[in-house]
Structure 1
């Protein structure tokens, strides 16, 4: 069973600054302010949050969604 990763290194697309941040387990983060240049990051079109768009790890809700289904026990 895959463990849920709760930290992601988010990289600002404007200045290239990277920072490891804690991600909420049960929510998507829609806005993030870069600690270096101050720009507000928003998710790319089609992405649920800034971690899915600019992080090195997708957000926990997406990780849970992408888990493979459990195999049935007992053959039925």
Structure 2
């Protein structure tokens, strides 16, 4: 019902059904996803889109100390 009222809520519902664990939380649902900081939710949405678009779990990041850009395989931490 909430998705019909607000189509943007679909990503919250979707992530709530897909995420099985978040840190020490083992019971993740849409309510938990709603409580995330906007930047964390945006990261999860972007990561979900990346995995499903190109099948890659590589994320490009930058070292804050030396500004060296490198890739990190986020998939090695999924489900483990």
Task: Work out which of the two has the higher radius of gyration on C-alpha atoms and give 1 or 2.
Answer: 1
TM-score, length basis structure 1: 0.28
Q: Which has the higher strand share?
A: 1
TM-score, length basis structure 2: 0.27
Higher relative contact order (CA 8 A, sep 6+): 1
Q: Which has the higher helix share?
A: 2
